[in-house]
Chains A and B, each alone.
Chain A
Amino acid sequence: MSIESDKPAGHDEARRTFLKQSSLLTAFTMVPGPVLQAATYELDEKVAAAFEKVPLRLEVNGVKHKLSVEPRTTLLDLLRENLNLTGTKKGCDYGQCGACTVHVDGQRVNSCLSFAVMHEGKKITTIEGLTNGDKLHPMQEAFVKHDGFQCGYCTPGQIMSAVACVREGHAGSEGEIREYMSGNICRCGAYSNIVAAIQEVKNGGQKV
């Protein structure tokens, strides 16, 4: 990190060297000569940049995607910017607020804190995938009924976390819910209502 901010020129060079090397590795099989040359002679960074992308297969809300992404793209930015699934929210981008919570193979994950390429072949569920056609998931219904939100920005993350919390068996008591939901900040302070919604779903015994 310090290299990037303190010595931008140096970093730039390092990056270019890396590009050249990685380009060379693949050059024999697939890179057309002029392109490689462009990168080598620093003529066209933009062409060279194409080599920074890697292929990725993902299943999101039941839809299979074949993508080409930069390794530094987070799962959150991929969802919001490339797949236009903006239900998953960015509240900090540092793994500290839970607004970006999605399920990866059924586990709750802060999508801002994991690179998209780490999820090759995995199944992602976002808030948009929780609804069954027109029918709300019981947790979504309970959030509406108990008014488990105000501005609504933390809500998709809260709901994804809440579903996981019940599935994990961590919704046994009010105290346990509060503990296991503490990774999801609600600055509007709708906590009491969120807990009530989770308790209702837990006690209602519906399949979540």
Chain B
Amino acid sequence: MKEQAQNKQIGAPMDRVDGRLKVTGGAKYSAEYELPNMAYAVLVGSTITKGRLTGIDTKAAEKAPGVLAVITHFNSPKVPGFDTAGKDPSQPATVGGPLKIFKDDKIRYNDQPIAVVVADSWERARFAARLVKGQYAPEKHKTNLEANASEAFLPTAAKKNPKHPMNDYQRGQVDAYKTGAIKLESEYVIPTEVHHPMELQAITAHWEAPDRLTLYDKTQGTLATRRDFAKEWNLPEENVKVIATFVGGAFGNALHSWPHESAAIIAAKVVNRPVKLMLTREQMFTNVGYRPYTWQKLGMSATADGKITAITHESVGQTSTYEEFTESTLAQTRMMYQSPNVTTRYRLASLDVCSPIWMRGPGEATGAFALESAMDEMAHLLNLDPLEFRLRNYTEQDPEKNKPWSTKFLKECYQLGAERVGWNKRQLKPGSLRDGEWLIGYGMGVGTFGAHRGAATVGAQLRPDGTVLLQCATTDIGPGTGTVMTQIAAETLGLDPKKIRFELGNSSFPKAGTQGGSSTVNSVGPATQEACLALKEKLRTLAGAAFASAKKEDVTLTDGYLALSGSPTTRVAYADLIKQGGDKAVTVEAKPGPEGQKYSMYSFSVHFAEVRVHELTGEVRVSKLVSCADAGTIINEKTAGNQMKGGAVGGIGMALMEAAHIDDRFGRYVTKDFADYHVPVHADSPDVQVAFVNQPDPHVNALGTKGIGEIAIIGVAPAIANAIFNATGKRIRELPITPDKLI
């Protein structure tokens, strides 16, 4: 019995394996490594938005106490890879390339780093940084998307490749909604939103030898970061080591290599000491990406009995002048509803800004705001319940790719969520429910994201003390990767999870992709499983005659012995196996098979919101938020539930408060900190309810997982906007929905 219970690790709400380190302050993030002779670096940013740097006065800074170096375009050592590096293969969705810091005198955006000041303490570096003065030849800049929308263009990658997903999409007739009997056409705007993980972007760069570099860095991909900086310095990849054992949140902003990382590496070279650099909260707006300001137009037509006949969805997203950033804003529109005619057009507008980067539920969350708002608008036009309207347009197979879904349990999600939020209380007529001065409304929004899987490799090793060590270069920015991998390993090996150690966040470990796009468990999960199976198989062959004919699944690892389940006396001590080389690590790569050709693979979610809107002040309180997901097998209900709740809270921010504003006259952000860029705090968040369908998807991988991180936020903002409409009759199509828009 005990063994049975022990075997059931997948699905158990296990406490995090790194919980103790996180609650005691023992978890070390990238600015927290103690190295001898540490120096501190602070960036100085451009005060103009576009033009040329004609000079920099660094004299006062250089003379300030404790200053070791002031590095600028005028004196920076040559970064060899800046001249040779062309298109960066680690950035598949971008054309152009990351900013090459200090390489030339061009200013491309406001607060672009023009100098890095290195000193022997933060205080001294900060003080001296304020003494650096740039001299500029400014040029006219563009920072407003709407003013420049007429120059929007099809992404270059799409122009070059007619199969590229950013190309215009067509099924049925072009713009058929225009001739529909019942139709709507609406424009939607989402402002620039900033990831703002609680950990400020930080890096500690250490040249251990003139050609050996170690980086303690905030990154979602230790290998991507290694590749980028090995290339920048023309070094073999194995000479660069990237450590990211703990990452204090990222939500996408550590999917790209940024100028501050290059600056720290250059600085460490110049002063020949380890250099620590941490951005300020203000610099988090300007130098590490954001969710791009996006304008969208959605046209939809339907029959009187609630069948969608056509959708056209267009968007223009902002990008920088030096990199073409694209995201899947229009993907959900092409596959979510059964419409015979669908047109999508994706465009970019280049502005004098820092490049954007995927932010949680990247383009899909932006697109879902338009699509799921329009669904609500159409349901209202048709006088239909929005849930019923969605059911009438439910797709049993992917209408974009004409393939069956690998699995789809969205209807089940609808049902779970509707019950929990009390959907039956919803009135068709807006403004029908109230509690004193508070108007009450209900809304829903649907989300989906590809169940992506990539190749991943995990190493597994039996240790003399009877524990198993697993290693993988993957990272954990918060979802609990180490914890769920421990559970997968424990179940596969039959071993107590306490005897398993899963190490990650180190580029020297076996390869894995970047933690992004909800793909980690889909990819690293099966690699962990297969590495454990291979380890068992190896030990079985070493265990001799008694195990020769045993089946793999009957072999288990127990306390001190390899054993056969069902035959407790058949066992071999680990010490004997280790004598024969049983402690050598086995390393296994797991790759996706051909299933992706046959099936369309997606995770699905639906979010239901109950809001209370104050009639006089326009204050919005999200009183209930219920998120239901079809994310395949749930490995750990506790960590998975937490991730869903976190996405929902992010969605509250998106819906009600988050917006980074540029003063276009100067091209400079006027939002500089948490006082003017609001993110949800405790008091803004209801007790978010989460439910999982928890049905395995047999096609994505053997575990049956599909991914959670993105669908947790996609669809939340429109659920809240729709609930606000139901409460007040006011349709707000520009986020965030602040009180001024409701009074």
Contact = CB atoms under 8 A, between A and B. Distances in A.
A151 B198 CA distance: 9
Interface in A168-204: 174, 177-179, 181-195
A85 B24 CA distance: 11
A183 B53 CA distance: 41
Contacts of B26: 87
B197 interface: yes
A105 interface: no
B649 A144 contact: no
B647 A86 contact: no
Given A48-B65, A52-B65, A151-B249, A77 B680 contact: no
Nearest to B32: A86
Given A52-B65, A85-B25, A177-B682, A92 B649 contact: no
Contact of A189 (B61, B280, B645): B645
Contact of A144 (B19, B247, B679, B688): B19
A26 interface: no
A193 B645 contact: yes
Given A91-B199, A154-B198, A187-B679, A147 B246 contact: no
Contacts of B477: 151
B82 interface: no
A73 B649 contact: no
* Interface-centre pick from A85, A149, A174 (highest chain B CB count, 10 A): A149
A87 B198 contact: no
A123 interface: no
A45 B65 contact: yes
Contacts of A131: 24
B682 A181 contact: yes
B435 interface: no
Interface string B34-61: 1000000000000000000000010011
A155 B22 CA distance: 7
Q: Is the interface of B mostly helix, strand, loop or mixed?
A: loop
A188 B24 contact: no
Interface residues of B, number: 72
A84 B34 contact: yes
B479 interface: yes
A192 B278 contact: no
Contact of B645 (A80, A136, A154, A192): A192
B25 A150 contact: no
* Interface-centre pick from A70, A145, A151 (highest chain B CB count, 10 A): A151
B681 interface: yes
Nearest to B246: A152
A185 B679 contact: yes
B582 interface: no
A152 B27 contact: yes
Interface in B645-661: 645-650
B572 to A, nearest CB: 35
A185 B27 CA distance: 19
B685 interface: yes
Contacts of A8: 57, 60-61, 130-133
Contact of A178 (B32, B64, B65, B682): B682
A152 B22 contact: yes
A90 B284 CA distance: 13
Given A86-B28, A155-B23, A150 B123 contact: no
Contacts of A188: 198, 249, 478, 642, 646
Nearest to A44: B65
Given A89-B248, A94-B674, A136-B24, A189 B198 contact: no
Contacts of B198: 89, 91, 97, 99, 151, 153-154, 185-188
Interface in A118-163: 126-128, 130-131, 136, 140, 143-145, 147, 149-156, 159
A29 to B, nearest CB: 23
Given A84-B34, A144-B15, A195-B682, A153 B674 contact: no
* Interface-centre pick from B198, B477, B639 (highest chain A CB count, 10 A): B198
A182 to B, nearest CB: 4
A184 B682 CA distance: 8
Given A49-B65, A81-B122, A88-B25, A151 B682 contact: no
A182 B685 CA distance: 10
Contacts of B197: 151, 153, 187
A31 interface: no
A86 B64 contact: no
A181 to B, nearest CB: 4
B196 interface: yes
A155 to B, nearest CB: 5
Interface string B238-255: 000000001111010000
Interface residues of A, number: 70
Nearest to A155: B22
Nearest to A49: B65
A153 B22 CA distance: 8
B200 to A, nearest CB: 6
B682 A182 contact: yes
Interface in B42-88: 57, 60-61, 63-66
A186 to B, nearest CB: 7
B608 to A, nearest CB: 16
Nearest to A194: B682
A6 to B, nearest CB: 9
A147 B639 contact: yes
A133 B402 CA distance: 61
A5 interface: yes
A178 B683 CA distance: 5
A169 B83 CA distance: 62
B60 A77 contact: no
A93 B639 contact: no
A87 B22 CA distance: 9
A9 interface: yes
Contacts of B663: none
Nearest to B281: A92
B123 A73 contact: yes
A17 interface: no
A9 B23 contact: no
A189 B682 contact: no
Contact of B643 (A85, A145, A150): A150
B645 A156 contact: no
A5 B31 CA distance: 27
* Interface-centre pick from B23, B32, B674, B681 (highest chain A CB count, 10 A): B23
A87 B25 contact: yes
Contacts of A49: 65-66, 124
Contacts of B646: 150, 188-190
A183 to B, nearest CB: 8
A187 B638 CA distance: 18
B741 interface: no
B200 A90 contact: yes
Given A150-B643, A188-B249, A9 B60 contact: yes
B675 interface: yes
* Interface-centre pick from B22, B197, B479, B675 (highest chain A CB count, 10 A): B22
Contacts of A89: 29, 198-199, 248
Contacts of A85: 25
Given A46-B65, A91-B198, A187-B196, A151 B23 contact: no
7 contacts: A86-B29, A153-B199, A155-B23, A182-B682, A186-B198, A193-B642, A195-B682
Given A150-B480, A151-B198, A152-B27, 17 more contacts: A8-B130, A11-B131, A87-B26, A91-B281, A93-B280, A94-B281, A149-B23, A151-B197, A151-B477, A152-B18, A152-B478, A153-B198, A154-B198, A182-B682, A187-B196, A188-B478, A189-B645
Interface of A: 4-5, 8-9, 11-12, 45-46, 48-49, 52, 70, 72-73, 77, 80-81, 84-94, 96-97, 99, 126-128, 130-131, 136, 140, 143-145, 147, 149-156, 159, 174, 177-179, 181-195
Interface of B: 15-16, 18-29, 31-32, 34, 57, 60-61, 63-66, 121-124, 127, 130-133, 196-200, 246-249, 251, 278, 280-281, 477-480, 638-639, 641-643, 645-650, 673-675, 679-683, 685, 687-688
